[in-house]
Amino acid sequence: MATNARAEWKPEQQSSTVSVYMVSGAAHKAIDFMTNVFNAQVVCKMMSDDNTSVRHASLRIDDTTVMISDGCKDYPPFPVWMHIYVEDVDKTYELALSKGAESVHGPRDEFYGDRVSTVKDPAGNTWWIATHKFTPKCLPSGNKECKVDATV
């Protein structure tokens, strides 16, 4: 069962109960991107014996732990899609582009209350960067789904 209290069964530096584990073809590029764009803090980083690949790294972005390694034969690399909330999506989008990201789409307001942009980082991962602006008014639908009132 998940709780907010620090659990003895989690490493001390592990803040989130569920974490992303990225297996990358260019972990160093992804780490540089996360530190430069999202102010990620490297908690630990273990390199291969020949110092050419990341065997394991843990980064903290706000309250979330992101783990990453370079791929190998048993664990081949694959790009991931990530969603991150930031204070200012427009500034973060511009910063991401200046750090080598490719634009998928620029910042735009979405019906569900977020202002969102999407970029592909230099390691090939896609990031949805968002700032929450408002909570949409939902209309009763008779089930657990929400029908958004488009007039909001």
* pLDDT tens digits, one per residue of 53-72: 999 999 999 989 999 999 99
pLDDT computed for residue 5 by the predictor: 60
Counting residues of the chain whose pLDDT is more than 70, the rounded percentage is 83
Spatial separation of the C-alpha atoms in residues 33 and 22, rounded to whole Å: 13
Q: Which residues of the chain register pLDDT less than 50?
A: 1, 152
Give Cα separations from 13 to 42, 58, 121 (angstroms).
11, 9, 26
pLDDT computed for residue 15 by the predictor: 64
**Residues in CB range of 75: below 8 A, 6 or more apart:** 23, 69
Kindly list the structural domains of the chain, giving each domain's residue range(s) and its CATH number in brackets, ordered by start.
Answer: 20-148 (3.10.180.10)
Instruction: Rounding to the nearest 10 degrees, give the CA dihedral for residues 35, 38, 19, 45.
Output: 10
pLDDT computed for residue 142 by the predictor: 61
